[in-house]
Structure 1
Amino acid sequence: MMEHSLLSPGSLSLKEVYDEIFNGLANHVNSISEGPRTIALQSWLQEIFAMSTAKALHGPDSPFANNKELLQAFWDFENGLKALTMGVFPTITAAKPAAARQNIVDALLEYFGDSFPEDTASELIRRTRRLALDHNRGTEFIARYGLGLMTGFLINTVPAVFWIILHIARDEDLLKKVRLELSLIIQPCAHDEDFSTLDVAAIRKRCPLLMSICHETLRCISSSTGTFLVNQDVEIGDEYVLKKGAIVQMAATAIHSNPDVWGVDAGAFEPERFLRPSKVHPAANRTFGGGSTLCPGRHLAVDEMITFTAMFLSTFDVTFPEGANGLPKEDDTNMLSVKKPSSDVLVDIRTRPDTKHQKWCFSTGALKV
């Protein structure tokens, strides 16, 4: 599939999108004064990730640019995805997300139309549009596909970053260890030494604790269910036969909480779990699916999670209202691929005293996994 080639590690299209997303996110972080500033963490992440991603994909003419109503429409749509997928009179049973979806599609129809900004859109968007037109798919198809692409970029990454930041920020000892790792890889930007940068390859290679926390968070919040059709009879050991035509479902929540797979602490968040030599079969980690359903954007998603977390925690001290530094409950009623929080969390952020003049910029080399 085209998405797999365009979003594969080392591809120029992935580098382009990554650089644009992170320069956008860096601008948001750079714009925050020394503080303190109180933010609703999930809402803030939703806003800045959606704005940065839309600009990275569509360029400066993105319909989401400086349009907070359309940004909110995206998250109204996302919040009602479960109701929409039921397909039972959605304009009645899921009126708000259905209306939000149509508002976004209308905006993307105009963007992808005759005045499409070929010179400023990303390679991913340009080639997607060209492929659709070459196969006689109309602008309506392209607009709806474009919404699906935005959805894939955002709906799992944002809640994952939310949980990763909270798991680290609420544990002072863990935060110190992560910051120590990061302090060894922060470098001045090549084109402006007044700015700092983080190389994602360095994070992956030299920040094992942060990587472990990321993977452990994903293990704990993954709630996707892979669905497969059996193409021929398959015998599993001496006990089971999967008959041709049967449907097999693999629930990440069940697999990731299984003590027989992950050990007696399978139900607990263990930040150093992935530092230990793995005795778990790779197929038991269903965070990004597997086989034909393996997520094509998984490399970019993890790079976004670790790099933004690194930038955020290197820049800000995070404090919680008194008595409120616990994690919110997971929303078990609206699960898609990852579990979202049942409520937002207010946090106070203040620029760290030793980094108050630190600003960020990003320009990567070829991304590797």
Structure 2
Amino acid sequence: MLKEKGESEQNYRDINVGTIQKFLAPGPFLAGLTRSTIQKLSTSIGLLGFQKKPHNLFACIRHHTTLAATGAVYGPQNPFLDPVIETSWWDFMPGIVKLLFGFFPSIMAWRNLRARARVAAAFKEYFANNGHVEASSLVKTMFEVNTTYGFELAEIAKMEIATCLALLSTSAIATFWTIFHLYANPIALADGRHDILAAIVGEKRNADGKLVRTVDLSLIKEKCPVLYSTFQETLRYHSSVISAKLVLEDMVLADQHYLKKGSTLMIPGPVVHSDTSIWGANANQFDHKRFMRNRVDTSAPNASAFRAFGGGATMCPGRYLSSNVIPALAAMIILQFDIAPISGRWVMPTTTKADIWNALPKPDYDIKVAVTPRKEAENVEWKFHWGISEEGHELSL
């Protein structure tokens, strides 16, 4: 319950939204959060090729992105470090649709409710043990806002489910599809690997004579057009975002659609993203170079037509973090590893069972793959950073 302080519930919501938008907008906090996430991913992903066993590609990516993202946000007492909590979170997710529709959830979604309760209990313990004190500024600030408005610890813990949902719902899916399209297309993979050479900011030999290459992943958007275009095309091709807009005035759209003031306009992203008048005759095909700035065969798509993160005031506040981390993770993987499906060929999974509420559809089934260190890079030690000074040191805040 909100404490009676004269402020309305609307004020509280505005403060919450404003806090999230402030921290996740481009600036020092976003850079620090990106850097922390990439450091954790670099450490964990670097061990993949030395595990002599097949991996389920989506499950593997989901595990590493979950621990890295939550670790960067929640600090050393991150509840997701407990495998039971990580598993419980992903057991809860499929039940969201049943909970949204409210059709006998205690019967139809009891397993999901039980999993959610375990996650909420873990966060209650986390806050009770002052885990937020060592966490990111976002978590500490949100905790202060919630306690100021009179929320009890149990309520604050439950509200953290929404933060986790925003943090984890699409990042692993977007990374999976980006990796799939890179490895399934040898040309895209070769182009992407060559691209990243522009982000190498340092080379030296260590004491053992091994070549050490330092990559500044903050340069991807600027200097790696193929890789970043592949990421954007992945979002365009797979996005299932539906934007909702309130009609403020009576109007006629495109001289044929009457929109009445006060009504809700639904904008289905997949329809916009497959419009051939916007994206060309090959709109239904995956073109990893579609978003490259230096293409001369077609004009750049209108920015408003790219709706992977929604649009307007309701645009996803986490878009900058996702746009930093996902291409960076893809770069780390394709530089270090060869990945091949155990079946012998890449086949795109169907998405007929995907959650209708999610911004990207998860695959109906996983792809079992073999991950091996690249022979071309076996004598190279890769160091990945986010932001490098002219003297070659990682930037600090």
Q: Which residue of 2 aligns with 1:138?
A: 152
2:106 corresponds to 1:91 = yes
1:51 to 51, 67, 74: 67
Separation in structure 2 between the aligned mates of residue 351 and residue 232 of structure 1, nearest angstrom? 59
Separation in structure 2 between the aligned mates of residue 73 and residue 333 of structure 1, nearest angstrom? 19
Q: Which amino acid aligns with 2:385?
A: F
Q: Secondary structure at the match of 2:291?
A: helix
**Could you tell me how far 1:206 is from its partner in structure 2?**
0.8
Separation in structure 2 between the aligned mates of residue 231 and residue 273 of structure 1, nearest angstrom? 35
Separation in structure 2 between the aligned mates of residue 267 and residue 294 of structure 1, nearest angstrom? 24
Separation in structure 1 between the aligned mates of residue 250 and residue 21 of structure 2, nearest angstrom? 30
Alignment of 1:220-231 (within 5 A): 220-231=237-248
The alpha-carbon distance between structure 1 residues 105 and 126, as it changes in their structure 2 partners (threshold 3 A), is: same
Separation in structure 2 between the aligned mates of residue 353 and residue 332 of structure 1, nearest angstrom? 38
The alpha-carbon distance between structure 1 residues 195 and 128, as it changes in their structure 2 partners (threshold 3 A), is: farther
Q: Which amino acid aligns with 1:235?
A: V
The alpha-carbon distance between structure 1 residues 33 and 170, as it changes in their structure 2 partners (threshold 3 A), is: closer
Separation in structure 2 between the aligned mates of residue 189 and residue 363 of structure 1, nearest angstrom? 16
The alpha-carbon distance between structure 1 residues 104 and 196, as it changes in their structure 2 partners (threshold 3 A), is: farther
Q: Which amino acid aligns with 2:123?
A: L
Separation in structure 1 between the aligned mates of residue 336 and residue 328 of structure 2, nearest angstrom? 12
Contact 2:199/2:217 (8 A) holds in 1 = no
Q: Secondary structure at the match of 2:372?
A: strand
Separation in structure 1 between the aligned mates of residue 32 and residue 64 of structure 2, nearest angstrom? 18
Contact 1:74/1:104 (8 A) holds in 2 = yes
Separation in structure 1 between the aligned mates of residue 184 and residue 240 of structure 2, nearest angstrom? 24
What is the TM-score normalised by the length of structure 1?
A: 0.91
Q: Secondary structure at the match of 1:328?
A: coil
Q: Which has the higher contact order (CA 8 A, sep 6+)?
A: 1
- Structure with the greater alpha carbon radius of gyration: 2
Gaps of 5+ in 1: none
Alignment of 1:67-82 (within 5 A): 67-82=82-97
Deviation larger for 177-186 or 289-298: 177-186
Count of aligned pairs between the two proteins? 363
Separation in structure 2 between the aligned mates of residue 334 and residue 100 of structure 1, nearest angstrom? 18
Alignment of 1:142-181 (within 5 A): 142-181=156-195
**Could you tell me how far 1:50 is from its partner in structure 2?**
1.0
2:32 corresponds to 1:20 = no
Deviation larger for 104-113 or 277-286: 277-286
Q: Which residue of 2 aligns with 1:340?
A: 362
2:360 corresponds to 1:360 = no
What is the TM-score normalised by the length of structure 2?
A: 0.85
The alpha-carbon distance between structure 1 residues 338 and 68, as it changes in their structure 2 partners (threshold 3 A), is: same
Separation in structure 1 between the aligned mates of residue 162 and residue 88 of structure 2, nearest angstrom? 14
Deviation larger for 124-133 or 34-43: 34-43
**Could you tell me how far 1:238 is from its partner in structure 2?**
3.2
**Could you tell me how far 1:260 is from its partner in structure 2?**
2.4
The alpha-carbon distance between structure 1 residues 312 and 59, as it changes in their structure 2 partners (threshold 3 A), is: same
Q: Secondary structure at the match of 1:80?
A: helix
Contact 1:15/1:365 (8 A) holds in 2 = no
TM-superposition CA deviations, 1:11-50 (whole Å, max 9, x none): x221222122111111112233545541101111111111
Contact 2:212/2:382 (8 A) holds in 1 = yes
The alpha-carbon distance between structure 1 residues 225 and 332, as it changes in their structure 2 partners (threshold 3 A), is: farther
**Could you tell me how far 1:363 is from its partner in structure 2?**
4.4
Separation in structure 2 between the aligned mates of residue 362 and residue 318 of structure 1, nearest angstrom? 23
Q: Which residue of 2 aligns with 1:329?
A: 350
The alpha-carbon distance between structure 1 residues 180 and 36, as it changes in their structure 2 partners (threshold 3 A), is: farther
Q: Which residue of 2 aligns with 1:108?
A: 123
Contact 2:354/2:362 (8 A) holds in 1 = no
**Could you tell me how far 1:109 is from its partner in structure 2?**
1.2
Separation in structure 1 between the aligned mates of residue 306 and residue 57 of structure 2, nearest angstrom? 28
Deviation larger for 216-225 or 22-31: 22-31
Separation in structure 1 between the aligned mates of residue 300 and residue 333 of structure 2, nearest angstrom? 32
Q: Secondary structure at the match of 2:362?
A: coil
Separation in structure 1 between the aligned mates of residue 352 and residue 178 of structure 2, nearest angstrom? 16
Q: Which residue of 1 aligns with 2:20?
A: 3
